[in-house]
Structure 1
């Protein structure tokens, strides 16, 4: 499973947590729909715990398990969500028995899995027959992700920029295909959204300098002149005043058969 190795939980929270925390509210509703309240639920690829906390708020921490391959993220989640069962593990090798959970959810994770079909297949394995498996990925390919403005401007300045549009699950229908290949039944696709109000350009831009994820790593490859050029182009596009970013994510839901 892909990772954010070397990135602190605090840096991740400042960069992507501001978008993924509100997304977790909508995604948890999708992932828990119809799931019996007495069953355990699993957060796969929990990061520093945005979705884990939302699941615990709805089900109680004792009913929630979470895994992440990065020890620093697992430790941050365990600290933020006392009572939850938090372990260091990759999606492709979940440390649970068959059918232990009523639902397994993966928020903004499938596109970083080394083997997405295996990872989702493991989520299905640990979910009880008839249970619910859900995943969501930002709409990077359709230009609806929270970083789409960044990648669009970066590509305008540098034709060699790859961005995140080619990541697994980032385009319409891709998560559904992954779920079906993993053997899930009754797979459906929906869209969930997250809106974040920002105080101004600097509030939006500064976390890009933390080296988090593909965008942060790209900025880190630039010299001072390149960073200043990119910042200037982005500021001209977005303006200095307060603004809001509304991002959407593709969601796939399937049933363990």
Structure 2
């Protein structure tokens, strides 16, 4: 599995869903002027751009372990403090952010509980820690249709349903295990319309993430069969894909009550 890819490639693959998700997630978090916010696992900046729109570059920091994403985001938003780091080892002092957020990241953390605990460490006691993950287990992610088609062609295919936070209630369990309190949850939705197969399919061949790795591992005939089966499931173009995330926001243990 790889996320060491050009930012534009990732934007074409997942950014077409994560960019419209950004405003809904920021609303759920309660991002507002005057705050200082850290975007954990920023990728090429789908959420970072929305945070900057609301807060200004000087009030936003971002971290990601992918060198191309860090370099691309630093060039794109030169006023944002962008650093190379994982969620489990954030290069910031204790209690220096009003909110620390992770959009579509928890399921790829090597240790989600440690990552959420580290997010809490850098958040002030009355600040917010928030995260969201696609509903892979419920079949409502942007990638679910392609995974369904892959499993129908090969029942041995292992999809993303078992990843951390990708099933109902699991993000809440992870947040509690990380010592967070007053955990609130939500089901957020985005809809994206595609003109035709050429608008939708090519980014699946870029080798990005678990699904991209699966597609890249297929020979030409099986890749073509997967594409054709996906298009049969999608139906006539244009078509709209509706995707849902499980989202949570919480506070550090011992913090003041959520208002």
TM norm. shorter chain > 0.5: yes
Once the two structures are superposed, the pairs formed by residues 1-257 of structure 1 within 5 Å of their partners are: 4-33=2-31, 37-257=33-253
Residue 26 of structure 1 aligns to a residue whose secondary structure is helix
Which shifted more, 232-241 or 84-93? 232-241
Deviation at 1:234, TM superposition (A): 1.2
Partners of 2:178 and 2:218 lie apart in 1 by 39
CA distance in structure 2 between the partners assigned to 1:98 and 1:155 by the alignment = 45
Do the aligned partners of 1:53 and 1:80 also contact (CA within 8 Å) in 2? no
The answer on whether the counterparts of 1:74 and 1:88 sit within 8 Å (CA) in structure 2 is yes
SS at match of 2:249: strand
Q: TM-score, normalised by structure 1?
A: 0.96
Q: Distance in 1 between matches of 2:29 and 2:247?
A: 9
- Number of residue-to-residue matches in the alignment: 253
TM-score by length of structure 2 reads: 0.95
SS in 2 for 1:75: helix
Which 4+ stretches in 1 moved above 4 angstroms? none
2: CA distance, partners of 1:58 / 1:256: 24
Unaligned runs of at least 5 residues, structure 2: 254-259
Is the CA contact 2:128–2:250 (under 8 Å) kept in the aligned structure 1?
yes
Deviation at 1:200, TM superposition (A): 1.2
DSSP-derived class of the 1:46 partner: coil
Structure 1 Cα separation of the partners of residues 185 and 88 of structure 2 = 22
| Structure 1 runs not aligned, ≥5 long | none
Q: CA deviation at 1:240?
A: 4.5
Alpha-carbon distance in structure 2 between the residues aligned to 1:228 and 1:196? 23
